[in-house]
Every structure is written in C-alpha cells, then in structure tokens.
C-alpha cells in the first residue's frame, strides 16, 4: 500500500488539482498545496459544507480557518467559533460547516489543513467564497430603443447603498463611461448616451457590500430607419391603398401637398384614397414616431399622378389544322408572365403549362418573343380531336406581375359540326347569363348577385324590383355594396349587398354594356327573395287571442318572449293567469293564447326569440290591431234601464219650462238645466277597466 502512495500523489499533481510551494512555519518547512477555489452562492440563514479530503498516505495534524476579516482560528474539538461547526469524518482531513448568519459571513475564506506525508510536513489551502445575491426589479424591465437615442435605467425602488451601484453591459463588463441620472440618484439611475445596435441584450444594475443585489433590463435596439427614397406613380381616378414607411412605426401622420391630413393614427403609415385626383400630385410629408424614440421624424416623398394608360389588348388567335385546334393568347408587356389558363365553354379551367399534356389537351406557344422592340409573352393550348364540349366561346387569362389580362376566342370546327343537332347546340355569340336564377337570403345576410358573358364589357349595373339602379365596377366598395368578380375585362359583373331587406324582394336584372358601343346592351333577370328572420301575427280564435311568431327556416330556438304595447314583458316559461304557452322551440315557433283578452291585450305585440347557438335576439311586431267593442257590464245595464224613462221625462219637462219661462229669464234657466244634464250624463260614463294582468315583471322590448 505504501509503495503506491508516491504514484497516486503524482497523479494528483498532474491533474492540476492544486499548486505547490515551500514555506516555513514554526521553524518547520512545509510544502504548500493550493487547491482550486470554491464558490458558494447562498442566502442568509443557510449552511454550507467545506472540506479538504483526507488520503490514506497522509496523517492529519491540525486545521485552521481564515475568516473574511483576515482573522485566522485554529480548529479543534475545543474551538468555539460563532457560526462554525467542525465536520467529524475519517475521510475528511479538515472540514467545517458555515452557518451564514449575517453579512459578516460573506466574503473570501480559506480552509487550511496541516498534514504529514511520509513524515514530510505539508500544508493544504482551500480558498472559498461565500456570497449572497438577490434579484430585484429594474425600471423598466424591458425597453425597445432606436439606435442613437439615450437609454435611461434605474432601480424600481431607491436604496441606501446607491454609492455602490455599478452598471454591467450585455458584454458582462462594467460600464464606466456613463452618466448618473440626477432624477434617480437614490435608485442607481444611469444614462447611456447614444445607444448602439451592439448594446442590444441584458443590462444589469448591481450594488451592495455584503449581499449583492442585481436588477436586469432587457434592451432591444432597433436600427434607425434611414428613410429611403420613396417615389410613387398613381393613376388618376384610380383608388390607392398602400402602407409605406417603417413597418414598426408606433405613430404616423401623412399630409398631402396641400397640407390636408390623409392619415393620423397609431401604427404603420397607410394611405387609402377612394379616387386619385390631380391635386395629389407633388411633395407629400410623412411624420413617423418609432418604437424606442421620443421625438418624431419627418420624411418627404413624391407622388406623380398620371392619366390612365390605354388598356393592353390580349391578342387571340385560333388555328384549325384537322384534327387539331390551336388556341393562342399573347400580351405585349414588359412584365413576366407567371401563369396562363383557359376556360372552356362549360366553365372548366385548363392550365397551359409548358411541356405538359393531358388527355386531348397540351401546351402550345412560343414563350417570349421580341417583335418591333416590343416584348410579347405568348401561351396557348392544343386540342387534338376536339369534342362537342370544346366548341363555342373560350376565355384565356394571362397573369403577370402587374395584373391579369383576359381575351376571348371562338372555337368552331367544321369537321366536328357536321351534325345539325351539334351545330345547333354550339353557342357562338356572347350571351349574358346569371349564376343563379333564384337567390334566397335572410335580412342581415350578405347577398351576392353575379352575371357573366364571354366577352369584355365596358360597364354593368343591377336593377332592383322597385326600379333602383346600382352601378358597379371593380374598386366599388361602400358600407352597402362592393364589386365581386375577376374584372369587367373578364366579362364578370357581380355585386355583394350587405343590408338588403324583405322589401327588396322581387324580380331583379343584371345589365352589361360591351366595349363596342355598336353592340346592344344585354340583360339577364333573376328572382331575389329576402326573408324576415322572424314573422309575427295575432288573431282571435273564438274568445281567445293568439299571438305567435315563426322563425325563418324553422331554426331551433333557445327561448321565446313577448312584449305588450305598454312594455309589459312575458316569457313563455313564466306566464300569468289567463295566458298559456304553445311554443314549439324545436321548430322555431313561438305562441301564447290569452283568455278573456283585455283592450290592452288586443293591441300589437312584439315577439322576441333567440336562435339556439346565437348571441343576438331577433324580433318582429304584429301588424294587426284587434279591435272589439267592449261588452256592457250587468251593473251598467241595469242603470241604463232604470234611467231611460227618467231621461225621457226630463227632456219633455225641460222643453215645457223653456216655453213657459219669460224670455228675459230663459238664459238662466237654460244654464241650470245644462248643469242637470251634465250630472245625468256623468252617471252613464263607464269606469276605467282594471287590467287583471298584475305582478308580472316588466321586460324591456
């Protein structure tokens, strides 16, 4: 065992576990071994165990501990050092347990062990550090700033130890070339002038003598927007809707050349013009507030307004080489063609992909050619042995970076039309058709109407059943309607209405005018039915008043309720006397029956329901007021029979008195008789009826 000891010791030295030097203590020369320093991140009140391991070939002699205040104590069974306990373990040459009672225990320590190795005195020294760190809040915790701006950081709460504050950058190095924020001296305020993109990352404010307090702020530094040159060319009378400037703008204001504010709000800069006018030509001003900046920046950009260019014409060509037909579309444009498609007479779309064929269709075309210094993009479709479904009017669409262009072709093959029935079935002239002959909707729904023709059109409009005209074109957008469809050049006319009512139901028509004004305008008619979401009515059935409502399409209901003309609300599940419910919620039907209905009951009602799964209620009022003469009450009938003879006698007596009284006293006599008449008349007046429906919670209509 003893023969292996030098070898083991050599391995320990080679491993770099410690360094060695020779010192002299108490007239004894010792070899000193410095062990690797240890660190203990702890907290007040915690205990940390520190040991120097014992080896079999070493004999323990003595232990020492050096405190952070540089006072050194000898450690043995009689030691009584506050906060220090000795580790008794045969495998430990020297060991202690430190109880971190206060900040006095924080700092640099050293554990020292004296041993004999083969009678040679040695000394082992283990430096260790005890430190306590607490994370606190910085203000702000996160900040986004633009390069060139000044960064302000401080603690969320002030501290008495502000003189020990340090600022650590994202590179883990202390920043000394910063200014103190005079407004937050007690909160370790710092000002970092002219922040750079390289300053992006986590910053730290650190302070404290014993316990170290750390506060972190995550800083995001954005590159400054250079305001690259912005020039726009807009077409007169066209709409514009674009977003310009920095994408991360917090605030933006845009003014046109005459100083009118076009946009002023939070977020990115947006220009939305319904129609470009000549007055928009000139120098515009954009004021931008960026994230991480206080001051706004101003930029100028130029808008050039031009007249609309003449539309490009799609050149179409049909070549018949029995048994093949070649369809070709070409567009003279500087924009590259991305895709090309054809639509056959039945509406089926076929893609013209170069080098690809399927069934009787294959790609045909010359690609890109240059004729007369004009770049022309050409694509086409080859049809081999065309069938009846291939005969008629085709449409081609050429997609470029700028827009889509449309053209129309007529495919008539004599060898495929020898049969008279086939020839008669082929449509060779453009005919306007509607996509739906009947349109059914509910009030509140979006209603789309559309028609199309195999020809370019110049204008289109819709005519309602009441004679109202709705002109529509691409770009038409309002609160009530908007255009739908590919474009007028594609022969498509469509409108989406957002607020049609039941009164708009009836016969509608779609009208289009062709590019050739010599061609007559075409129209196509269709029926529109807009249903009320709920209908309501009231009627009498013998002596019972019935109030009912029916939801369109018999949608299942969550509940029904009824509101009388005076605001009295009644729900089907809690009815008063004389009322019975006849709801059928599963079929969307609401109904109540009222026995011995009063005059108040016979006025119009409002029926309210909620469709199952929806958040809003639907309602409708009855359009009929039921009127019935009130029955004469028995008590009043008796009075009438009793007073009738007396009334007749009174009239006769009155007439006699008038004749006998002298003329000069007649007026006074007449006045007295009028008073008697009024008294008799009041006795016949019926007292107001009291409504028997009481103690019912009033529900708002």
Residue 603 sits in a domain of what CATH number? 2.60.40.10
Check: CB of residue 622 under 8 Å from CB of residue 537: yes
Distinct helix (H) and strand (E) counts, the chain: 4, 49
504 φ, ψ to 5°?
Answer: -85, 0
pLDDT grade, residue 355 (50/70/90)?
confident
Total number of domains in the chain: 6
The label of the residue with tokens 């827009």 reads 403
pLDDT beyond 80 at 283: yes
pLDDT at position 691 is 43
Which residues touch 467 (CB under 8 Å, ≥6 apart)? Answer: none
pLDDT at position 338 is 77
pLDDT at position 14 is 37
Question: Are 125 and 7 part of one and the same domain?
Answer: yes
Q: What SS3 string covers 61-85? A: EEEEEECCCCCEEEECCCCCCCCEE
Structure tokens at 39: 């660190």
Domain residue limits at 470: 433-531
Region 145-173 average pLDDT: 93
Check: CB of residue 446 under 8 Å from CB of residue 496: yes
365 found inside a domain: yes
Query: What is the C-alpha separation between 142 and 146, in angstroms, rounded?
Result: 14
Question: Are 71 and 110 part of one and the same domain?
Answer: yes
For residue 348, how many C-alpha atoms fall within 13 Å in the half-sphere facing its CB? 8
The label of the residue with tokens 């509608």 reads 508
Region 316-329 average pLDDT: 91
627 found inside a domain: no
Region 662-687 average pLDDT: 58
Region 368-396 average pLDDT: 76
Closest CA to 324 of 277, 382, 274: 382
642 found inside a domain: no
Region 371-390 average pLDDT: 76
Question: Are 516 and 573 part of one and the same domain?
Answer: no
- Please indicate whether residue 370 or residue 660 has the higher confidence score (pLDDT): 660
Question: Long-range contacts for 199-203 (Cβ within 8 Å, ≥24 apart)?
Answer: 199/151, 199/169, 199/170, 200/170, 201/169, 201/170, 201/171, 202/170, 203/138, 203/153, 203/167, 203/168, 203/169, 203/170
Give the tens place of pLDDT for each residue, 428-481: 899 999 999 999 999 989 999 999 999 999 999 999 999 999 999 987 888 899
Which residues touch 307 (CB under 8 Å, ≥6 apart)? Answer: 235, 236
Check: CB of residue 269 under 8 Å from CB of residue 288: yes
Positive/negative CA dihedral, 469, 473, 475, 481: positive
pLDDT beyond 60 at 316: yes
The label of the residue with tokens 């309501």 reads 536
Question: Which of these three, 424, 450, 467, is where a domain ends?
Answer: 424
pLDDT beyond 60 at 297: yes
pLDDT at position 699 is 35
Structure tokens at 348: 């089926």
pLDDT at position 394 is 94
Structure tokens at 693: 């429906």
| Partners of 263 in beta bridges | 254
E-state strands within 256-403: 261-266, 269-273, 282-290, 297-306, 315-321, 324-332, 337-343, 349-351, 357-358, 361-371, 374-384, 392-400
Cis peptide before 323 (omega within 30 of 0): yes
> How far is the CA of 231 from the CAs of 4, 10, 273, 277, in angstroms?
86, 78, 17, 17
pLDDT grade, residue 511 (50/70/90)?
very high
Question: Are 331 and 420 part of one and the same domain?
Answer: yes
Check: CB of residue 128 under 8 Å from CB of residue 37: yes
526 φ, ψ to 5°?
Answer: -160, 160
pLDDT at position 447 is 96
* DSSP alpha helix (H) spans, 20-159: none
Check: CB of residue 93 under 8 Å from CB of residue 139: no
Check: CB of residue 473 under 8 Å from CB of residue 489: no
Report percent pLDDT > 70 for the chain.
83
pLDDT at position 237 is 82
pLDDT beyond 80 at 211: yes
324 found inside a domain: yes
Question: Which of these three, 73, 97, 131, is where a domain ends?
Answer: 131
DSSP label of 4 = G
Question: Are 502 and 408 part of one and the same domain?
Answer: no
Give the tens place of pLDDT for each residue, 601-648: 999 999 999 999 999 999 999 986 555 545 545 555 555 556 666 677
Check: CB of residue 388 under 8 Å from CB of residue 413: no
> How far is the CA of 635 from the CAs of 382, 628, 639, 691, in angstroms?
99, 20, 7, 19
564 found inside a domain: yes
Concatenate the DSSP letters of all residues of 585-654 into one string: GGGTEEEEEEET--TTTTS--EEEEEETT-SS-EEEE-------PPPPPHHHHHHHHHHHHHHHHHHHHH
Give the tens place of pLDDT for each residue, 65-99: 999 999 999 988 777 888 999 999 989 999 999 99
pLDDT beyond 80 at 512: yes
Question: Are 27 and 119 part of one and the same domain?
Answer: yes
Question: Are 399 and 494 part of one and the same domain?
Answer: no
Check: CB of residue 68 under 8 Å from CB of residue 107: yes
Question: Are 47 and 122 part of one and the same domain?
Answer: yes
114 found inside a domain: yes
Question: Are 539 and 521 part of one and the same domain?
Answer: no
Question: Are 438 and 420 part of one and the same domain?
Answer: no
Query: What is the C-alpha separation between 108 and 131, in angstroms, rounded?
Result: 9
Q: What is the mean pLDDT of the chain?
A: 84
SS3 157: coil
196 found inside a domain: yes
pLDDT at position 527 is 97
pLDDT beyond 70 at 27: no
Question: Are 98 and 9 part of one and the same domain?
Answer: yes
Question: Which of these three, 189, 222, 255, is where a domain ends?
Answer: 222
pLDDT at position 495 is 96
Question: Are 122 and 166 part of one and the same domain?
Answer: no
Concatenate the DSSP letters of all residues of 432-477 into one string: -EES-SEEEEETTS-EEEEEE-SS-EEEEEEE-TTS-EEEE-TT-B
38-42, 357-361, 370-374, 566-570: the lowest-pLDDT one: 370-374
400 found inside a domain: yes
pLDDT beyond 70 at 655: no
pLDDT at position 510 is 97
């Amino acid at each position: 065992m003893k023969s292996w000891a030098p070898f083991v010791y050599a391995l320990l030295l080679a491993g770099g576990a410690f360094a060695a030097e020779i010192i002299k203590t108490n007239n004894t020369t010792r070899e000193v071994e410095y062990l690797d320093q240890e660190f203990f991140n702890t907290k007040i009140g915690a205990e940390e165990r520190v040991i120097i391991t014992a080896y079999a070939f070493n004999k323990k002699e003595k232990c020492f501990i050096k405190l952070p205040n540089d006072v050194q104590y000898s450690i043995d069974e009689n030691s009584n050092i506050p906060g220090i306990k000795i580790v008794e373990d045969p495998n430990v040459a020297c060991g202690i347990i430190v109880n971190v009672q206060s900040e006095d225990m924080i700092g640099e320590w050293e554990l020292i062990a004296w041993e004999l190795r083969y009678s040679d005195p040695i000394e082992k020294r283990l430096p260790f550090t005890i430190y306590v760190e607490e994370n606190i809040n910085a203000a702000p915790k996160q900040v986004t700033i633009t390069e060139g701006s000044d960064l302000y950081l401080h603690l969320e709460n002030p501290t008495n130890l502000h003189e020990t504050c340090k600022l650590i950058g994202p590179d883990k190095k202390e920043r000394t070339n910063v200014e103190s924020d005079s407004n937050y001296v007690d909160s370790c305020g710092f000002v970092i002038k002219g922040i750079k993109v390289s300053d992006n990352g986590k910053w730290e404010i650190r302070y404290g003598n014993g316990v170290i307090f750390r506060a972190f702020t995550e800083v995001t530094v954005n590159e400054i927007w250079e305001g690259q040159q912005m020039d726009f060319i807009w077409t007169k009378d066209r709409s514009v809707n674009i977003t310009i400037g920095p994408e991360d703008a917090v605030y933006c204001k845009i003014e046109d050349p005459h100083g009118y504010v076009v946009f002023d709000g939070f977020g990115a800069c947006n220009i939305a013009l319904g129609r470009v006018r000549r007055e928009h030509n000139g120098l515009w001003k954009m004021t931008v507030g960026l994230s991480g900046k206080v001051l706004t920046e101003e930029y100028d950009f130029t808008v050039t307004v031009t007249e609309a260019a003449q539309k490009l014409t799609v050149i179409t060509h049909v070549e018949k080489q029995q048994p093949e037909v070649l369809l070709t579309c070409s567009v003279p444009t500087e924009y590259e063609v991305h895709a090309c498609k054809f639509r056959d007479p039945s509406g089926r779309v076929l893609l013209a992909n170069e080098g690809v064929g399927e069934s009787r269709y294959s790609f045909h075309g010359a690609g890109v050619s240059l004729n007369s210094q004009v770049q022309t993009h050409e694509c086409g479709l080859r049809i081999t042995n065309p069938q009846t479904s291939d005969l008629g009017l085709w449409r081609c669409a050429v997609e470029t970076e700028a827009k889509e262009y449309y053209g129309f072709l007529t495919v008539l093959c004599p060898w495929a039309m020898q049969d008279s029935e086939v020839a008669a079935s082929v449509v060779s002239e453009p005919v306007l058709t509607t996509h739906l002959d009947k349109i059914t909707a509910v009030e509140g729904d979006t209603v789309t109407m559309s028609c199309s023709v195999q020809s370019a059109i110049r204008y289109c409009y819709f005519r309602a059943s009441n004679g109202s005209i709705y002109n529509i074109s691409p770009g038409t957008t309002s609160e009530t309607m908007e255009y739908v469809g590919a474009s007028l050049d594609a022969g498509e006319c469509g409108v989406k209405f957002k607020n049609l009512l039941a009164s708009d139901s009836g016969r509608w028509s779609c009208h289009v005018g062709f590019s050739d004004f010599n061609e007559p305008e075409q129209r196509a008619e269709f029926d529109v039915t807009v249903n009320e979401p709920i209908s309501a009515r009231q009627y009498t059935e013998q002596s019972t008043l019935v109030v009912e409502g029916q939801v369109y399409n018999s949608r299942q209901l969550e509940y029904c309720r009824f509101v009388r003309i005076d605001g009295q609300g009644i729900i089907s599940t809690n009815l008063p006397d004389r009322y019975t419910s006849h709801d059928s919620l599963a079929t969307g039907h609401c109904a109540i029956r009222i026995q011995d209905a009063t005059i108040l009951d016979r006025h119009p009602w409002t029926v309210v329901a909620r469709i199952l799964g929806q958040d809003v209620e639907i309602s409708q009022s009855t359009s009929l007021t039921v009127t019935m003469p009130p029955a004469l009450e028995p008590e009043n009938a008796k009075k009438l029979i009793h007073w009738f003879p007396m009334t007749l006698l009174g009239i006769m007596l009155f007439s006699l008195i008038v004749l006998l009284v002298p003329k000069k006293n007649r007026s006074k006599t007449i006045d007295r008789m009028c008073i008697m008449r009024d008294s008799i008349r009041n006795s016949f007046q019926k007292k107001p009826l009291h409504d028997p429906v009481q103690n019912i919670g009033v529900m708002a209509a």
